[in-house]
Structure 1
Amino acid sequence: MKVGILGTGGMGNVHARHYANMPGVELVAFDRDADKLGAFSKHHGAKRAATYQDLLDQTELVDICLPTHLHVEYALQSIDAGKPTLVEKPMARRLSECRQLITAAEGKGIQLGIGHVVRFFPEHNRIHNLVLDGAVGSPALCRMRRGGRAPLGSEGWFRDPAHSGGVILDLAIHDYDWILWTFGPIAQVYAKSVRFNPVGGTKFEGDYALVTLTTESGVVCHCETTWMDPSGFRATLEVSGSAGIVEFDSRLAPSLRVHTDSGSVAAANMDSADDPYFRHLSAVLSAVRTGSPMPVTGQEGMAAVAVAEAAILSAAENRPVDPRELLAQAASI
């Protein structure tokens, strides 16, 4: 299968590295920066497209790894060309743009997938299944933390909330998606964010956020997110229920523990060789080959952006926001 990668930055390189290990995959790449494109093509053995249209003409799947604010423009072109399209998370900068993509894909009968890879991380996948299997009984509380130092570079777009959405959209959306996948629709969002500049004076707003989510089923979820942790990246996840607690900490070994109501503790060492990006992209290729739904659909990607948009609005106006109302408004546009 010929896969076209649009964008040769961080995520473009991550995706290319894993596609290169898949039998039968040929890579075609395009980037407006000729030097970056040349280095990318040489490193990954990808064919260089002369233009984006040239990439569309050659490929069977388009993988969009551009800055968030550019997703809708280029994904619409891919869909219009009749190409199954994978869009890196977040699906788009705004909920209205997500609706545009879904409407276009449904109108053309095109598969549209979103790059929510955390579902494929072994610990998050295992906890999802443990919760659904009743390991903690009836779930009541979920706490998630994700953060580290802000990524540098990216031509400045990442540090501009108008383009990236800040941590509430770009980073915490991993956790919103996991919560939606595990516990179902979210009924209320309340968020607080702190904005300040890091050492060095480079403007970077919205670098700490605490978002409280309540699901329709009554589970209360706390998502803490930051790009201002000097100790480095860390992700944690804890689910408490009527029969026990399951917890994950990326800095601990073993990283996942289950504490049952009987007092016993089960520790699990996860298989780090089971790479989540490889699993996710393999599932995407399988969906394209068989014509089945993408592993994470456009509707699911839009639901996560709705939560993020609700959190941004909540933080700005200091009030709870129902993301379902935002989804309804987007559907009426």
Structure 2
Amino acid sequence: MRVGLLGTGWMGTVHARQYAKMPDVELHVFDRRPERVAAFCTEWNATPASDCEALLATADVVDICYPTDRHADYAIRAIAAGKPVIVEKPLALDVADSVRIVEAADRAGVPLGCAMVVRCFPEYAAAHRLVQSGALGRPAAARTRRGGKAPLTGADNWFMDHRRSGGVLVDLAIHDFDWLRWTFGEVAQLYSRSVRAEAGEGPDYALTTLTFDNGLVAHCESTWMDPSGFRTTFEVCGSEGMIEYDSRTTPSLRTHSAGGSVAESPLAATDDPYYLELRAFLDAVAAGTPPPISGLEGAKAVALGVAALESARSGQPVKPARL
């Protein structure tokens, strides 16, 4: 399968590393920085494309890893060429562009996936399964934390231009918004408070309270202001038990119930979550089955991020768009 990769930055490198593990994948690459493409293709045994049109003509599948503000235009170009597309999260910067991508794919009848990798992390997948199975009883509350130092890398430092990245709420917290919605259902409203870091143009720390249709309340902390390094945590409390995770502890995952506590570290050495999400999308395309994480799921995550950002700016609770 010929995969056309758009973007050779940090996330493009992450994806290329996974494709290099797949013997059935032939990687083709385009980036608007030709000096970057040559070295990138040498490193990952890929074939450079002369321009975007050449890449679209060659590829069986297109993987978009450009900065977020370019996602919509390039996704729609790939869809117009009839190519299955997977877009790195967030699907787009706003709800309107997200819907535009989803509707274009629906009209064209081509598969559209969104790379929401946290669903593929085994600890998050295990917690999702426990909740869905009823092992924790009736879920009542959840808490997530995600963050580290500000991502002051990449071409022209685009992450810290919040008009391009969406900032900490649309780019970072969206991981947890998506996982929470996937696990507990639709969100009725969000209330977010934030502070600004000098390097950015929007919130670099945010604390968001999500109230779900089923009454569950979740607190989501997201930050690019933690100098100690990247860390993720979650807790889920139900009527029959609790599960907690901390990426800095070993074992990282622990469940608690009336019968006692169980600790585990479910990540196997071969289970790279980025590999799992890309492999699953390619397998779905080959089998003619729906993508495991659809473009619509990606759009719903964007709706939560945008609503949280609106709340942070207005100081008022916001109901997310229902898609």
Give the TM-score category using the shorter length. Answer: over 0.9
Equivalent in the alignment of 1:149: 149
Return 5+ residue gaps in structure 2 as ranges: none
SS at match of 2:322: helix
Aligned pair 1:206/2:211, yes or no? Answer: no
Give the paired residue count: 321
Match of 1:268 in 2: 264
Structure 2 letter corresponding to 1:83 = K
2:277 aligned partner: 280
Following TM superposition, by how much is the alpha carbon of 1:173 offset from its aligned partner in structure 2, in angstroms? Answer: 0.4
Indicate the SS of the match to 2:62: strand
Q: For 1:64, give the aligned amino acid.
A: I
Displacement of 1:205 in angstroms is: 3.4
Find the residue that maps to 2:203 and give its secondary structure: coil
Q: One-letter code of the match for 2:134?
A: G
Tell me, in whole angstroms, the C-alpha distance in 2 between the residues paired with 1:270 and 1:126. 8
Counterparts of 1:138-177 in structure 2 under 5 Å?
A: 138-154=138-154, 155-177=156-178
Q: What is residue 313 of structure 2 aligned with on the other side?
A: 316
State yes or no: 1:192 paired with 2:187.
no
> How far 1:46 moved relative to its partner?
0.5
1:272: how far off? 3.9
CA separation in 1, counterparts of 2:10 and 2:153? 10
**Mean alpha-carbon deviation: is it higher for 148-157 or for 50-59?**
148-157
Cα distance, 1:271 vs structure 2: 2.4
| Residue 251 (str. 1) matches residue 248 (str. 2) | yes
1:1-333 matches, within 5 Å, as 1-154=1-154, 155-197=156-198, 202-203=199-200, 205-262=202-259, 264-273=260-269, 274-323=271-320, 326-327=321-322
Q: Hey, what's the Cα distance between the residues in 1 that align with 2:242 and 2:276?
A: 27
Deviates more, 1:130-139 or 1:81-90: 130-139
| Matched residue type, 2:179 | W
Query: Within 2, Cα distance between the matches of 1:142 and 1:58?
Result: 45
State the Cα distance separating 1:203 from its structure 2 match.
Answer: 4.2
CA deviation after TM superposition for structure 1 residue 152, in Å: 1.7
- The residue type equivalent to 1:291 in the other structure is G
Instruction: Decide whether the 8 Å contact of 2:162 with 2:200 is kept in 1.
Output: no
Distance in 2 (alpha carbons) for counterparts of 1:205 and 1:98: 21
- The structure-2 alpha-carbon separation of the partners of 1:314 and 1:14, relative to structure 1 and needing over 3 Å to count, comes to same
Q: How many Å apart are 1:103 and its aligned residue?
A: 1.0
* TM value normalised by structure 1: 0.95
Instruction: Read off the aligned partner of 1:39 and give its amino acid letter.
Output: A
Q: Deviations over 1:140-167 (max 9, x none)?
A: 0000000001112221211011111110
The match for 1:331 is none
Q: For 2:272, give the aligned amino acid.
A: D
- Tell me how far apart the structure 2 counterparts of residues 203 and 62 of structure 1 sit (CA, whole Å): 31
Classify the secondary structure of the residue corresponding to 1:252: coil
Please give the TM-score of this superposition, normalised by the length of structure 2. 0.97
Q: Which runs of 4+ in 1 moved over 6 A?
A: none
Amino acid across the alignment from 1:176:
F
In 2: Cα distance, 1:24 partner to 1:309 partner: 38
Task: Return the letter of the residue paired with 1:252.
Answer: T
What's the C-alpha RMSD, in Å, of the aligned pairs?
Answer: 1.0
Query: What stretches of structure 1 of length at least 5 have no aligned partner?
Result: 329-333
Q: Cα deviations across residues 29-60 of structure 1 (Å, max 9, x unaligned)? A: 00111111111100000000000000000010
In 1, the alpha carbon distance for the partners of 2:267 and 2:247 equals 13
Q: What letter corresponds to residue 184 of structure 2 in structure 1?
A: F
- 1:208-237 per-position Cα deviation (integer Å, ceiling 9, x unaligned): 000110111111011000011011000001
1:204 positional shift? 5.2
Asked if the contact 2:188–2:213 (Cα under 8 Å) also holds between the matched residues in 1, the reply is yes
Question: 1:139 & 1:163 partners in 2: Cα distance?
Answer: 36
Distance 1:18 1:196 in 2: 33
Aligned-partner Cα distance in 2 for 1:158–1:218 = 34
* Counterpart-to-counterpart distance in 1, 2:7 and 2:268: 27
* Alpha-carbon distance in structure 2 between the residues aligned to 1:159 and 1:25: 33
Residue 99 of structure 1 aligns with an amino acid whose one-letter code is V
CA distance, structure 2, for counterparts of residue 53 and residue 239 of structure 1: 47
Are the counterparts in 1 of residues 177 and 304 from structure 2 also a CA contact under 8 Å? yes
Which amino acid in the other structure matches residue 122 of structure 1? Answer: P
1:276 and 1:157 mapped to 2: Cα distance? Answer: 25
